[in-house]
Amino acid sequence: MKKIIAHRGLSLRYPENSVAAFEATHRYGVEWLETDISILGDGTVIIMHDDTLDRTTNQSGHLAELSAADIAATSVGEWFGTAFKDEPIPRLADLIACLNRTKLNINFELKAVVGNRGNELADEVVAQLAEAITQLNPAIKISISSFNPLMLLKMKAYHPDLDYAVLFETHTLEADWPLIMAAVGARAIHLENEGLSQHVVQTAVSLGYEVNVWTVNTRERTNELFNWGVTGVFSDKADELLSLTKKEWMSHERLT
């Protein structure tokens, strides 16, 4: 079964990594959501891609230097449009509640933790996510991904039976990538779309790995990747690509 995964929610229609974007994912009929798990300096787990507030909020600052009180009035939506000016930065509890309401399947991406307290905060974010996962409806499918294999190993100590995936950028995909996958015990490899070749995809598939590709926003490229053997794509336009999970992807000519 092919998968279309909403990349940070429906992030071209709504502010990325906001509850509004997550709920819209469900409303538009997308079954899989990907989002980013980060942590503040005081141990508060939040949903945010970057390690600073600057790009996606109306404030600035490094996450490792901030507390929950510092972001209490921060808007994650004002930059996107006035209709979302009151959209707060989601906490982990907000995400879990949303998932239980919508029954969306979820790919949690564990973000790298930087700074002098990096290892301490990495342990804390993993511990909190591990506990939060136990609160999810059992029908929800869960995948844990990260660019950092150590983050995956930390999580695997809590939940050895979950599905794990290693993320790679094209320029970091060295010849030893199968060793990294084996060391983690990963089920899936998440590959960057830009520069990705059919040979790499087919090598991963031949080794028994599920292949998911980020970030893919056109029907033509999605169709091509599915024909290469890719299982899923992460997309900012997930709602527009849904029909490609059906039979359409099987005939490349239908999109040309």
| Tokens 């996958």 -> residue | 181
Mean predicted confidence (pLDDT) in 199-205: 98
Taking 60 as the threshold, does the pLDDT of residue 254 lie above it? no
- What pLDDT score was predicted for residue 244? 79
Mean predicted confidence (pLDDT) in 27-46: 98
- What pLDDT score was predicted for residue 255? 46
Task: Read off the pLDDT of residues 128-158 as tens digits, 9 standing for 90 and up.
Answer: 999 999 999 999 999 999 999 999 999 999 9
Q: How confident is the model at residue 188 (pLDDT cuts 50, 70, 90)?
A: very high
SS3 per residue for 171-213:
HHCCCCHHHHHHHHCCCEEEEECCCCCHHHHHHHHHCCCEEEE
Helix H or strand E segment including 122: helix 118-133
Considering its fold, how many domains does the chain have in total? 1
What's the Rg (C-alpha) of the chain?
18
- Specify the CATH number for the domain of residue 226: 3.20.20.190
Taking 90 as the threshold, does the pLDDT of residue 250 lie above it? no
Helix H or strand E segment including 22: helix 19-27
Mean predicted confidence (pLDDT) in 58-72: 97
Q: Which residues form the domain of 79?
A: 3-255
The pTM (predicted TM-score) of the whole model is 0.95
Contacts of residue 197, Cβ cutoff 8 Å, sequence gap at least 6: none
Q: How confident is the model at residue 256 (pLDDT cuts 50, 70, 90)?
A: very low
Q: How far apart are CA 176 and CA 170, in angstroms?
A: 13
